[in-house]
Amino acid sequence: MSPDAVALRQGDRALTYAQLADRAARLASVLRDRGVQRGDRVAHLGTNDLTTFEAFFASGLLGAVFVPLNTRLAAAEVAYMLTDCGARVLLVGNGVELVAKELVEDPELDRLVTLPFAEVEAEVAAAAPLAAEVDVTLADPALLLYTSGTTGRPKAATLTHGNLTWNTINQLAHFDTASTDRALCIAPLFHAVGLGQVTLPTLFKGGSVDVLDKFDAGTVLRLVGEHGITSFSAVPTMLQLMVEDPAWADADLSSLRHVVFGGSSVNEGVARAWLERGVRVLQGYGMTEAGPGIYMALQEGSGDRPVSVGVPHFFTDVAALGADGSVVPVPQEGPGLELLVRGPNVFAGYWNRPEETTAGVVDDRWFRTGDILRADEDGWGYVVDRVKDVIISGGENIYPAEVEAVAITCAGVRSAAVVALPDHRWGEVGVAYVETFPGATVTEAELRAHFEAHLARYKIPKHLCFVDELPRNATGKILRSHLRDRARTTLEEKP
**pLDDT of 326 over the 90 cut:** yes
Q: Is residue 195 domain-resident?
A: no
Which pLDDT value is given to residue 150? 41
Q: Is residue 244 domain-resident?
A: no
Instruction: Tally the C-alpha atoms within 13 A of residue 83's C-alpha that lie toward its C-beta.
Output: 12
Which pLDDT value is given to residue 494? 56
Q: Is residue 298 domain-resident?
A: no
Which of 58-67, 100-109, 301-310 is the least confident region?
301-310
* pLDDT tens string 40-80: 999 999 999 999 999 999 999 999 999 999 898 889 889 99
The CATH number of residue 11's host domain is 3.40.50.980
**pLDDT of 137 over the 90 cut:** yes
Which pLDDT value is given to residue 152? 55
**pLDDT of 432 over the 50 cut:** yes
Give the Cβ contact number of residue 296 at 10 Å: 26
Q: Which domain holds residue 110?
A: 6-136
Collapsed DSSP state (helix, strand, coil) of residue 90: strand
* Phi, psi at 270, each rounded to 5°: -70, -45
Which pLDDT value is given to residue 423? 86
Report the chain's terminal Cα–Cα distance, integer Å.
69
What is the rounded CA–CA span in Å between residue 71 and residue 77?
Answer: 10
Q: Is residue 295 domain-resident?
A: no
Q: What percentage of the chain has pLDDT greater than the value 70?
A: 98
Q: Is residue 218 domain-resident?
A: no
- For residue 432, which of 446, 444, 424, 422 has the smallest C-alpha distance? 444
Residue where a domain stops, chosen among 87, 102, 136: 136
Q: Is residue 91 domain-resident?
A: yes
Rounded (10°) angle between helices 75-85 and 97-104: 60
**pLDDT of 417 over the 90 cut:** yes
Q: Is residue 355 domain-resident?
A: no
**pLDDT of 378 over the 50 cut:** yes
**pLDDT of 148 over the 60 cut:** no
What is the rounded CA–CA span in Å between residue 295 and residue 189?
Answer: 21
**pLDDT of 149 over the 50 cut:** no
Collapsed DSSP state (helix, strand, coil) of residue 237: helix
* pLDDT tens string 361-373: 999 899 999 999 9
- For residue 477, which of 377, 393, 386, 376 has the smallest C-alpha distance? 386
Q: What percentage of the chain has pLDDT greater than the value 90?
A: 74
**What separation in angstroms does the CA of 276 have from each of 42, 175, 279, 289, 355?**
45, 21, 7, 35, 49
Residue where a domain stops, chosen among 81, 106, 136: 136
* Phi, psi at 282, each rounded to 5°: -105, 120
Mean pLDDT of the chain: 92
What is the pLDDT averaged over residues 121-131?
Answer: 93
Residue where a domain stops, chosen among 101, 136, 171: 136
State the total domains in the chain.
Answer: 2
Instruction: Give the model's confidence band at 302: pLDDT under 50 very low, under 70 low, under 90 confident, else very high.
Output: confident
Which pLDDT value is given to residue 392? 84
What is the rounded CA–CA span in Å between residue 90 and residue 72?
Answer: 16
H/E stretch holding 102 reads: helix 97-104
**219 Cα distance to chain centroid:** 21
Residues 93/66, Cβ–Cβ less than 8 Å:
no
Region of 325 (left: φ > 0; alpha: ψ -120 to 50; beta: rest) is: left
**258 Cα distance to chain centroid:** 17
* pLDDT tens string 167-202: 999 999 998 899 999 999 998 999 898 999 999 999
What is the pLDDT averaged over residues 468-494?
Answer: 86
What is the rounded CA–CA span in Å between residue 442 and residue 447?
Answer: 7
* Phi, psi at 16, each rounded to 5°: -75, 170
CB-neighbour burial class of residue 303 (10 A; exposed 0-12, middle 13-18, buried 19+): exposed
Region of 427 (left: φ > 0; alpha: ψ -120 to 50; beta: rest) is: left
Q: Is residue 437 domain-resident?
A: yes
